[in-house]
């Protein structure tokens, strides 16, 4: 059995998805690089960019809407949602990107974008929000 979170089928991972047949005028599909659901209490979305690449306007708008839609402070229990934009400098497609070690360049929570006050990895940033928004008396899966 493969280790959780590891690439299970490297050959399949190389296969690209072609969305050209799913365009509707100026609307085109986009993807996000990752999503974590902490027991319907905290939704974490993340998108990675290499080097100086920036999010296109449409992808940024869709990402904002997705993150904002996950937020529900009036739900019982309340549900929080956060989105991270992270950066890495690994241009070689044969080298895996360890997303836990990428650096957060900005994040969205509560309908607003923020820039971290200090350099922080994605793992450390997720841990901050997990401690803040997931009650410790409601344990989640081991190893998180």
Q: From CA 65, how far away is CA 68, in angstroms rounded? A: 5
Output the pLDDT for position 1. Answer: 60
Give residue 15's pLDDT: 85
Confidence grade of residue 140 (pLDDT, cut at 50, 70, 90):
very low
Contacts of 30 (CB under 8 A, 6+ apart): 58, 59, 62, 63
> Greater confidence, 44 or 2?
44
**Can you give the pTM of this predicted structure?**
0.87
Q: Please give the pLDDT value at position 143.
A: 39
Query: In whole angstroms, what separates CA 6 from the centre of its chain?
Result: 16
Residue 11 has pLDDT above 80, yes or no: yes
């Amino acid at each position: 059995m493969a280790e959780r979170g590891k690439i299970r089928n490297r050959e399949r991972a190389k296969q690209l998805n072609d969305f050209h047949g799913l365009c509707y005028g100026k609307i085109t599909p986009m993807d996000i690089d990752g999503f974590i659901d902490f027991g319907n209490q905290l939704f974490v979305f993340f998108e990675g960019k290499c080097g100086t690449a920036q999010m296109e306007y449409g992808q940024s708008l869709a990402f904002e809407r997705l993150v904002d839609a996950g937020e529900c402070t009036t739900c019982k229990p309340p549900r929080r949602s956060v989105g991270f934009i992270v950066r890495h400098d690994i241009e070689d497609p044969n080298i895996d990107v360890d997303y836990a070690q990428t650096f957060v360049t900005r994040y969205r929570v509560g309908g607003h974008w923020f820039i971290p006050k200090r350099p922080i990895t994605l793992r450390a940033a997720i841990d901050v929000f997990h401690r803040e928004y997931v009650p410790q008396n409601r344990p989640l899966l081991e190893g998180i």
